[in-house]
């Protein structure tokens, strides 16, 4: 990951230093990816609290085991449901568009379509563990002040991200990155028709696995702004995630701790 950051910083330095022009949008996007996502296989715990009309409507705890694919750069993840009790120890495997759900009680491995997953809470993981620089072409559209997740005004680069493949979840994204350090501040995710799907604020920066990372993401639904999901990340750890784990047949065997 340090290598990625160094590369991104080098590109940033080269582009700004050489011509005094705006930094390479793609480079600062890559740098922001490296702030959100550890560069080696890792595990973390995600707590989700969901609000509807300002009232808590549900909560989940998930343990995520993830690694980036060496070819596509995208994350392949095993997600273990920890809470609530009804869902404890159920599993979800995400390996590109190969999505499986496993229930240890019925031993059923059920294949999911991307649409099925998109509608569940696990899809919010896409807002977090996704390498945007791999799937989107970034363009710097403005350098402007923006209110961050703590309502502080920050100088930011506003990027417009356009999908380079039809397989990605979001057609285009608006993203604001801190002009000083490329930290993600806020994103808005859109459909092809321009419909806002969700807005995400990245906040509570803390040192995790050697980098200051956002440990909370606040997600506001685009269609219903009264639907708010607060995702908190803790128990970060470097964790080997063998390729052996990332297949349907391993789901009944998965018992990592």
Task: Kindly compute the dihedral angle of the four CA atoms of residues 93, 66, 52, 175, in this order, to the nearest 10 degrees.
Answer: -120
- Does 19 engage in binding with another protein (CB under 8 A)? no
| 160 near another protein, judged by CB under 8 A | no
Q: Which of 18, 54, 70, 165 binds another protein (CB under 8 A)?
A: 54
Residue 230 in the binding site for another protein (CB under 8 A): yes
The widest CA-to-CA distance across the chain, in whole angstroms, is 62
**Contact flag: residue 255 with another protein (CB under 8 A):** yes
| Residue among 3, 11, 12, 51 at smallest CA distance from 179 | 12
Helix (H) and strand (E) counts in the chain: 5, 13
**How many Å separate Cα 213 from the centre of its chain?**
12
Q: Which of residues 105-124 bind another protein (CB under 8 A)?
A: 105-109, 111-116, 119-120
DSSP string, 103-144: ETTTTEEEEE-HHHHHTSGGGHHHHHS--HHHHEEEEEEEEE
Q: How far, in Å, CA of 145 to CA of 68, rounded?
A: 33
Quick check: 85 binds another protein (CB under 8 A)? yes
Please tell me whether residue 82 binds another protein under the rule CB under 8 A: yes
Nearer to another protein, 36 or 76 (CB): 76
Residue whose token pair is 């707590």? 47
Nearest to 48 by CA among 234, 242, 256: 234
Residues in region 162-201 near another protein by CB under 8 A: 199, 201
Residue nearer to another protein on the CB measure, 114 or 172: 114
> Which of 61, 160, 174, 211 touches another protein by CB under 8 A?
61
The C-alpha atoms of residue 70 and residue 84 are separated, in whole angstroms, by 34
With respect to another protein, which residue has the nearer C-beta, 21 or 108? 108
Provide the token pair at 87: 């869902």
Say how many residues touch another protein, by CB under 8 A. 64
Residue 57 tokens, joined: 């409507």
Tell whether residue 102 is a contact of another protein (CB under 8 A).
no
Confirm or reject binding of residue 232 to another protein (CB under 8 A). yes
Answer yes or no whether residue 21 interacts with another protein by CB under 8 A.
Answer: no
* 41 part of the interface to another protein, by CB under 8 A: no
Residues interacting with another protein, by CB under 8 A? 45-47, 49-52, 54, 57-59, 61, 82-86, 88-89, 96-98, 103-109, 111-116, 119-120, 147, 149-151, 199, 201, 203, 216, 218, 220, 225-226, 228, 230, 232, 234-235, 242-244, 247-250, 253, 255, 257
């Amino acid at each position: 990951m340090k290598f990625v950051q160094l590369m991104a910083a080098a590109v940033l330095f080269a582009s700004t230093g050489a011509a005094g022009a705006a930094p390479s949008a793609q480079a600062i996007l890559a740098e922001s990816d490296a702030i959100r996502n550890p560069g080696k296989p890792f595990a973390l715990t995600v707590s989700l609290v969901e609000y509807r009309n300002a009232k808590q409507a549900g909560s989940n705890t998930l343990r995520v085991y993830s690694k980036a694919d060496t070819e596509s750069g995208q994350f392949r993840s095993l997600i273990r449901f920890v809470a609530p009790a009804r869902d404890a120890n159920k599993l979800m495997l995400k390996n590109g568009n190969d999505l499986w759900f496993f229930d240890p009680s019925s031993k059923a491995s059920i294949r999911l379509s991307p649409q099925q997953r998109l509608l569940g809470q696990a899809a919010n993981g896409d807002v977090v563990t996704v390498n945007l620089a791999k799937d989107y072409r970034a363009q710097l559209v403005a350098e402007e002040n923006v209110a961050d997740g703590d309502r502080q005004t920050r100088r930011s680069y506003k990027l417009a991200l356009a999908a380079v493949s039809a397989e990605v979840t979001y057609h285009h994204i608006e993203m604001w990155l801190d002009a000083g350090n490329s930290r993600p501040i806020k994103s808005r995710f859109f459909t092809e028709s321009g419909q806002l799907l969700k807005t995400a604020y990245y906040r509570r920066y803390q040192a995790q696995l050697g980098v200051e990372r956002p440990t909370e993401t606040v997600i506001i639904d685009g269609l219903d702004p009264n639907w708010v999901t607060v995702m908190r990340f803790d128990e970060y750890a470097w964790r080997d995630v063998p390729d052996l784990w990332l297949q349907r047949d391993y789901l009944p065997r998965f018992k990592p701790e």
